[in-house]
Structure 1
Amino acid sequence: MATNAVRALWREPRAPQPPRRVWRDWLLVGLLLPTAILEGVLRADVVWRPVAIVLAVIVIVALLWRRTHPLTVVVIAFGVAILGSVVALVSDLPPVGLNTMVAIVLLPYSLTRWGSGREVGVGFVILLTALVTGTAADYTGISNAIFAGVFLLSPAAIGAAVRYWSATRSRELDRMRLQERAQLARELHDTVAHHVSAIAVRAQAGRVVAASHPEAALEALAVIEAEASRTLAEMRLMVGALRAEEVAALAPQQGVADLESLAGSVGDGPRVQVELAGDLTDLGSPVGAAIYRIAQESITNAARHARHATRIDVRVVGDEEWIRVTVDDDGDAGSAERNPTGYGLIGMTERATLLGGTFVAGPGVERGWTVEAVLPRTGVAR
């Protein structure tokens, strides 16, 4: 784990950057500034009081940039610490500084969490220099010196570990999104291939009967026009959906007509009830496949995670423009504490978004868990 975290630091030029300043940093600085000023004014043993207060204010304000410019803030904060230690060594005075400046222990974490590999290397030289000069200026024994080193560098190890975990998580999420897009593209490929084949057959038939039965040829042209329009509409859904080169699955797509097969008991688990209402005819094939997959995945999640659930209700309602899919269970309220960023939910969100719809999931109003997807009847690629 530690080795992988270190490699992650050097593999990425810079970790993905957070917003320039977040509210937690403003809150931290808002609490530390008055504390530092009060300490500088009220504490009796402060050396060079005005200088100590000014330096503390500079260091604390610099914390606002610890996420976006970690090395710069490390240079400022630990440069001040090194300068104070050198002055203490040369003048034989106690170290110049306030206890509030202990907040700079956040900076090793920021350095390894958001800095580039080169910034981490330079920053560590500065950290070790500050550690050595600080220990020399206020040496109280080997055990205290070791403790100071661990106290200063432990946040750096935590930052590297968090960075590695975040990068791994991000790669896994990207993989799941691409997998869902590839599945959608396969389904679209099969649908379009079917329509194009129908167009070709009708065109051939129309050419054969054109001379002897003109009305049959006109009928063939009408069918070709309808198939071509539908194919073009579904081809638009391919925009933005990436597909790796692979052989299309031979199994037929499952859609709204297959939802009834999900009804019944899930092993020894809760019973599944499926209700279909409204206009569910003439749906785009990708939309029908998405409805089935969202219902199937939601049922699987409920059967796996809903404690003491006896029933899972699937309701699909269609109107002139939209199809609404709702899946909820009657499990215990406590079982609703599921991972909102789970890969299954991410896949369903990606599928619904690609088709121009929405997807939400969360605890039910009274108990259990509720999943709701709203999809356009024909699908609109985004």
Structure 2
Amino acid sequence: MVTFRSSLWHEPRPVGAPPLGRPDWLLVGVFTAAALVEGAVRPDLAWRPLVTVLALALMPALLWRRSRPLMAALVGWGVAGLLLVLQLTAHTGDLGLYAMMAVLIPLYSLVRWGSGREIVLGTAFVTGVVALGMCVSSAGRADVFGGIVLLLLFVALAAVFRYRADLWHRQEREIRDQERVALARELHDTVAHHVSAIAVQAQAGGMVAGLQPEKAVEILATIESEASRTLAEMRSMVRVLREEEAVAYVPQPGVADLPALARTGTTPTVEVSLDGSLARLARSVDAALYRLAQESLTNAARHARSATRVAIDVRREGDAVRLCVSDDGQTGPGPASEPGFGLLGMAERAQLLGGSLAAGPGPEGGWVVEAVLPVEGAE
């Protein structure tokens, strides 16, 4: 109980309160008109001018109910309390207007839009006014019970809407965080692929610089192109990661972009083969196939010893798409290297889409990575 009270006291105001608009002014107009009409036509009402003025005094509080919920509740229920005090001291009849039911709206807004501290202070004040009304009122127990139930109904309704909205915002933040993690992984895959390609090209350039200077110039141009693409993609993704809200960024590459990974005239050469109907893949599957191929190519460039050829083959097989990336490098033991996300991350990406991934030595030597993904992705 102490923990609950402490957490409620320190709870901030909910986000997303609607700004003051035309419906708010319409609400004030309706209750103002009702108070004026009732004050003019009720002959049994004592002190009609004073009661009508006090009823009109609480109407502006309806405009503050979301921006200053505690102030609105104190003003509205303060007017109700003042009428009760006058009724008690002057020994008059009922001084309330039916239009005074408007005080229920600030009570609702207090619980819906107030901070924890405002809720505690405001509900304590309202409870005091209600207790005073029970002492002053000559109504029967059934009427008093009905009034209390009505107040609790407004409070419960406000609490339900408040915490349902809070749950929705939490889910939205979780989805945004998941998207950021996915973008961070995309950033890793992109940078790792391009940097590996730059490293391979730089090694090749060092070997041919003395023998074929014109070939070295071509390799330098390739390195410059790879570096520019890396910076462009990295800046785009980093900009998304830095923004609190989603912003527009370059669409993720897919199977149609795989031919851009092909390379000839360098070691290893990269061959890309696309077979079957690959145009109507789910967006997540399309992007995953590209990233899996890119990561496999990066691993081959970094880890396949003496590899001269890497083949990327994508083909449609019924309701599935098969990706196969193979190289002709040596599969014997070599120096250990940092795996990064590596095969574990690739397998996780495939499993999240309802597919599978296998990697290991090929039957004819080299290393083979094979992924099978459903065309429509995970259900």
User: TM-score under structure 2 normalisation?
Assistant: 0.63
Amino acid at match of 1:184: L
Amino acid at match of 2:36: I
**Partner in structure 2 of residue 117 of structure 1:** 116
Matched, 1:221 2:220: yes
Amino acid at match of 1:57: L
Secondary structure of the residue aligned to 1:239 is helix
Instruction: Please list every run of at least 4 consecutive aligned residues from structure 1 whose deviation after the TM superposition is greater than 3 angstroms.
Output: 4-11, 240-243, 256-264, 290-293
**Is the 2:10–2:117 contact (alpha carbons within 8 Å) kept by the matching residues of 1?**
no
Amino acid at match of 1:217: A
Q: 1:143 to 1:6 in 2, by over 3 A?
A: farther
Equivalent-residue separation in structure 1 for 2:276 and 2:131 (angstroms): 67
Amino acid at match of 1:67: R
Task: Output one character per residue of 1:159-202: Cα deviation in whole Å (capped at 9) or x when no partner.
Answer: 12211111111010111122122212212321221111111111
**Is the 1:5–1:160 contact (alpha carbons within 8 Å) kept by the matching residues of 2?**
no
Amino acid at match of 1:182: V
Q: Larger Rg: 1 or 2?
A: 2
**Partner in structure 2 of residue 274 of structure 1:** 280
**Partner in structure 2 of residue 289 of structure 1:** 287
Q: How does 1:1-382 map to 2 (within 5 A)?
A: 9-16=8-15, 18-242=17-241, 255-257=254-256, 274=280, 289=287
Amino acid at match of 2:256: A
Q: 1:262 to 1:149 in 2, by over 3 A?
A: farther
Amino acid at match of 2:52: I
Secondary structure of the residue aligned to 1:45 is coil
Amino acid at match of 1:191: T
Equivalent-residue separation in structure 1 for 2:174 and 2:6 (angstroms): 21
Task: Output one character per residue of 1:328-360: Cα deviation in whole Å (capped at 9) or x when no partner.
Answer: xxxxxxxxxxxxxxxxxxxxxxxxxxxxxxxxx
1:17: Cα distance to partner? 5.1
Amino acid at match of 1:80: V
Q: 1:106 to 1:9 in 2, by over 3 A?
A: farther
**Is the 2:28–2:62 contact (alpha carbons within 8 Å) kept by the matching residues of 1?**
yes
1:274: Cα distance to partner? 3.4
**Is the 2:45–2:94 contact (alpha carbons within 8 Å) kept by the matching residues of 1?**
no
Which sits farther off after the overlay, 182-191 or 59-68? 182-191
1:254: Cα distance to partner? 7.4
Equivalent-residue separation in structure 1 for 2:80 and 2:174 (angstroms): 44
1:157: Cα distance to partner? 1.7
Task: Output one character per residue of 1:99-153: Cα deviation in whole Å (capped at 9) or x when no partner.
Answer: 1111211222111111111111111111111111112222322222121111122
User: TM-score under structure 1 normalisation?
Assistant: 0.62
Secondary structure of the residue aligned to 1:240 is helix
Amino acid at match of 1:79: G
The alignment's C-alpha RMSD in Å is 3.5
Secondary structure of the residue aligned to 2:73 is helix
Count of matched residue pairs:
266
Equivalent-residue separation in structure 2 for 1:261 and 1:34 (angstroms): 74
Equivalent-residue separation in structure 2 for 1:139 and 1:60 (angstroms): 27
Q: 1:17 to 1:219 in 2, by over 3 A?
A: closer
Q: Percent identity?
A: 47
Equivalent-residue separation in structure 2 for 1:186 and 1:261 (angstroms): 28
**Is the 1:198–1:227 contact (alpha carbons within 8 Å) kept by the matching residues of 2?**
yes
**Is the 1:5–1:163 contact (alpha carbons within 8 Å) kept by the matching residues of 2?**
no
Q: 1:237 to 1:8 in 2, by over 3 A?
A: farther
Secondary structure of the residue aligned to 2:20 is coil
Equivalent-residue separation in structure 2 for 1:87 and 1:183 (angstroms): 65
Equivalent-residue separation in structure 2 for 1:229 and 1:237 (angstroms): 12
Q: 1:291 to 1:38 in 2, by over 3 A?
A: farther
1:55: Cα distance to partner? 1.0
Structure of higher RCO (CA pairs closer than 8 Å, 6+ residues apart): 1
1:291: Cα distance to partner? 12
Amino acid at match of 1:88: Q
1:256: Cα distance to partner? 3.8
Task: Output one character per residue of 1:81-105: Cα deviation in whole Å (capped at 9) or x when no partner.
Answer: 1111111112110132211111211
1:240: Cα distance to partner? 3.3
